[in-house]
Amino acid sequence: MTSTTSVHDLMRAAAVDYLAMRRALGFKLVDTDRLLEQFIAYLEQAGVATITTEAATAWATLPVGVQPAWWRQRLQAVRQFATYLQTLDPKVEIPPAELLPYATRRATPFIYTPEQIVALLAAAGRMRPMTAATYTTLIGLLAVTGMRVGEAIGLDRDDLDRRRGLLTVRRSKFGKSRQLPLHPTTTAQLAGYLRTCDRHLNERQTTALLVSTVGTRLFYSNVHITFQQLTRTARIQSDSPRCRPRLHDLRHTFAVDTLTLWQRDGEDVQARLPLLSTYLGHTDPGSTYWYLTATPELLGAAAERLDQSREQA
């Protein structure tokens, strides 16, 4: 390496290898290419030959009038790359993880009661026939599988195996696919929905399982708006300003209800948690804990089980 420019060219080549490796592991890294290119260009312009904590922090905080979370995201992109690059160049500094701290405020999940889910389905059922069929199927599917909304919208007809009662979720959040065993009633409901589609739609414009009134794949923005309308129709009110009924909260509800059922049935919850993680499409049980909320029902089931174990001791 005879010049600063050649150093940065090597750094760019290392960034290409780094991104290819992370993506092969399933990470999407949507903005990381652009951020790393901007950072390397910043180092080049500043005449800095390697990654330093000072340079990384200065670059990360360049944008003005933005949320601190964006500064942290920029620094995190550099930090992860620096961790990789240090294996090739010991002079690389890895910015400390506690730099530019930003505490994300988790929205309190809205855990739906069975009665509220029934009310949502009833509200959806009062819509126009094809819309009613789609939204009762979507809400019901999310409630009984805990799928991500985007996964449900992305399903194709061929992803449903009616004979074996399996639903294949392809290329989910981490680029992986998984199969979800379905209860026979869920399989029958999906099969009935497809017959309704064939009856009401003269022409399908997509391979999607769940479709709009004109036979196209659903858009999340439209689904979100419709769901908010359904919550109002069903008279489901927010518990607090930070706990509002969202479509995604059906996923939280599924996770909590599953654990509550296991507690009541006397199952070894800790041993079975990896099964729930796999079903939800998580890479490890740690991600599943994010979805667990201490509802009165869950705490009551756990307390009842604890009392039973004490009586048997």
pLDDT in tens, 52-65: 999 999 999 999 88
3-state SS class at 238: coil
**Residues designated as active site:** 148, 173, 248, 251, 282, 291
Q: Percentage of the chain with pLDDT > 90?
A: 58
Range scoring the smallest mean pLDDT among 134-143, 158-167, 242-251, 268-277: 268-277
pLDDT in tens, 242-291: 789 999 999 999 988 888 888 787 777 778 888 888 888 877 776 776 66
Its CATH class, for the domain covering 114-240, is: mainly alpha
Burial label for 158, CB within 10 Å (0-12, 13-18, 19+), is exposed
3-state helix, strand, coil in the chain (%, to 5): 60, 5, 35
Where do the domains of the chain lie? Answer: 4-85, 114-240, 251-312
Residue 24 has pLDDT above 80, yes or no: no
Q: Which residue did the predictor score with more confidence, 202 or 301?
A: 202
Q: What is the pTM of this model?
A: 0.65
pLDDT at 108: 83
